[in-house]
Structure 1
């Protein structure tokens, strides 16, 4: 009887120890997750405490959400708006392709992208000219996409190599064109996460000559850095020149003014900005001349946001 009591007592102690260990593990996980969310949650709290005049993104509301792009099954990535055609262009990394969409998210044409390994970013430059980023090769190509074209070929095109990366899948992730400054803006996803301004003062498209460029790193005014853990895409507001930076892991769109100050942000979560569900994997952002925002997310979802008056 005494032995049975000792065994029962030992089993109870073991269960108590196991319960305490499980509780400690749960607390550690919660603290870790809270730490991971602090960067963008802190930014959101600061932005909401700022004057309403600076929080322009807070006035955007989804008018089209989670619309599957019929004709594209997966890997919908970078996005850009062309004022020349009044349409959107996106890239797909597997298989490498360029898609043209109307502003309602309907596929107009799908073109194979020959010579690309891992296209992730695209930016409209002028007329029929675009820049396309090949992330794995960490190279930017300038290509002409004509209205009647059925494929895009990168071989024999002007290009710019940004150097080797330690991790091949973390090269150039997003592109945008700053027409006011004649700069191409590029972002790398992480390790390192950075924003690059590539000046092209005398670059002539279609000449075949290699571009003469100046590459400078852009940093926010806040010394603590960007309030995100990764960068999936970038857009330059064509009206103000402000930077729009898209965080995929945080599902937040950040806006920075020309001084590098955080001017606003837009959480892409359920219950925010008119969204019924959190955008699952936002990969591309674009803005037209009237300020309408367009986003795409993997595998093939399209979103449209308009600013309320």
Structure 2
């Protein structure tokens, strides 16, 4: 393992990265070394065994920044956001554009998660607002002006708002990340499917305090229903980190050139999701699509 890390570090240096990135590389390599010295939980995704099998695929039909990503297990497709011209897009699992849905009544969409059926939640970054919406099959236009909404009044003077969210079906809660200044992971219960006079709880996720996270920002997250673990995506640190339910980091997926089979560093990772085969999907602004698969799946793909 030590030889592998040194070789990886040497490859990154040869690739000509600027010295400003070295701190993030040092952190990533140090954490990989530490995590590889501890037992891996049985149900963990074990991100260190993942390799890219679709890299930097441009979605040519999109003219603006693709930011969020979520998986709908019922349609077996992906849904993402375009946050300039407000669009929700449906994608195949190999990154082909299937549908564009124009959205009225929102500003600066950054987060999106599938709940069940046609139900989704979107997040607006600057005004820190969540909206619970329905996306019917075949819809190409939506007006969400009157959709149930919740404004989260935390850090109102900060210039970085809500950046990503994920529905935790097992815990019946939303997990929401704030990008930075300060970074936060929040847990919200009672909003999705709310009934009249229902109480809504918003709290910092106690297992994931900012001081225990070894990344410099948070772009997105995914609650893994099989393991109960949470994946956190950092754009600035170029990594995905897997945390157990008690907040212990157990594995890392590096998004730097030379890691996970990548030919180039993922430039600005903004969206993250996982499908029912536990393949990991990342979208990077402006419109790049990535898919990472466990090594055994990658080997089968090469053989075919």
TM-score range normalised by the length of the shorter chain: 0.7 to 0.9
Bigger-Rg structure (1/2): 1
Q: Secondary structure at the match of 2:212?
A: coil
Q: Quick one: distance in 1 between partners of 2:73 and 2:229? A: 18
**Of the candidates 12, 33, 36, which is equivalent to residue 45 of structure 1?**
33
Counterpart of 1:8 in structure 2 is: none
Q: Secondary structure at the match of 2:30?
A: helix
Q: How far did residue 217 of structure 1 move?
A: 0.9
Counterpart of 2:64 in structure 1 is: 74
Counterpart of 1:305 in structure 2 is: 292
What are the Cα deviations for residues 68-108 of structure 1, in whole angstroms up to 9, with x where unaligned? 01211221001000012111000111011111101010111
Q: How far did residue 268 of structure 1 move?
A: 0.7
Q: Kindly indicate whether the alpha-carbon contact (under 8 Å) linking 2:159 and 2:181 is maintained by their aligned counterparts in 1.
A: no
Q: Quick one: distance in 2 between partners of 1:245 and 1:261? A: 12
Q: How far did residue 274 of structure 1 move?
A: 1.3
Counterpart of 1:216 in structure 2 is: 203
Q: Structure 1: which 5+ runs fail to align?
A: 1-28
Tell which deviates more after alignment, 36-45 or 275-284: 36-45
Tell which deviates more after alignment, 54-63 or 72-81: 54-63
Structure 1 130/223 Cα, relative in aligned 2: closer, same or farther at 3 Å?
Answer: closer
Structure 1 61/35 Cα, relative in aligned 2: closer, same or farther at 3 Å?
Answer: closer
**Of the candidates 237, 245, 251, which is equivalent to residue 250 of structure 1?**
237
What are the Cα deviations for residues 236-258 of structure 1, in whole angstroms up to 9, with x where unaligned? 11211210000000110000011
Q: Quick one: distance in 2 between partners of 1:79 and 1:226? A: 22
Q: Kindly indicate whether the alpha-carbon contact (under 8 Å) linking 2:59 and 2:97 is maintained by their aligned counterparts in 1.
A: yes
Structure 1 225/295 Cα, relative in aligned 2: closer, same or farther at 3 Å?
Answer: same
Counterpart of 2:300 in structure 1 is: none
Q: Quick one: distance in 2 between partners of 1:36 and 1:61? A: 20
What are the Cα deviations for residues 53-72 of structure 1, in whole angstroms up to 9, with x where unaligned? 66710111111110001211
Q: Secondary structure at the match of 1:49?
A: coil
TM-score by length of 1: 0.83
Q: Quick one: distance in 1 between partners of 2:138 and 2:208? A: 45
Q: Structure 2: which 5+ runs fail to align?
A: 1-17, 297-304
Q: Is residue 123 from structure 1 mapped to residue 110 from structure 2 by the alignment?
A: no
Q: Quick one: distance in 2 between partners of 1:277 and 1:33? A: 14
TM-score by length of 2: 0.84
Q: Is residue 287 from structure 1 mapped to residue 277 from structure 2 by the alignment?
A: no
Q: Is residue 144 from structure 1 mapped to residue 110 from structure 2 by the alignment?
A: no
Tell which deviates more after alignment, 47-56 or 267-276: 47-56
Q: How far did residue 221 of structure 1 move?
A: 6.9
Counterpart of 1:195 in structure 2 is: 185
Q: CA RMSD in A?
A: 2.3
Q: Is residue 268 from structure 1 mapped to residue 255 from structure 2 by the alignment?
A: yes
Q: Secondary structure at the match of 1:44?
A: helix
What are the Cα deviations for residues 206-226 of structure 1, in whole angstroms up to 9, with x where unaligned? x7x576321121244799510
**Of the candidates 226, 251, 263, which is equivalent to residue 239 of structure 1?**
226
Q: Kindly indicate whether the alpha-carbon contact (under 8 Å) linking 1:238 and 1:289 is maintained by their aligned counterparts in 2.
A: no
What are the Cα deviations for residues 128-172 of structure 1, in whole angstroms up to 9, with x where unaligned? 000000001101000000012111222110111101544564111
Q: Quick one: distance in 1 between partners of 2:262 and 2:117? A: 34
Q: Quick one: distance in 1 between partners of 2:209 and 2:114? A: 30
Structure 1 282/185 Cα, relative in aligned 2: closer, same or farther at 3 Å?
Answer: same
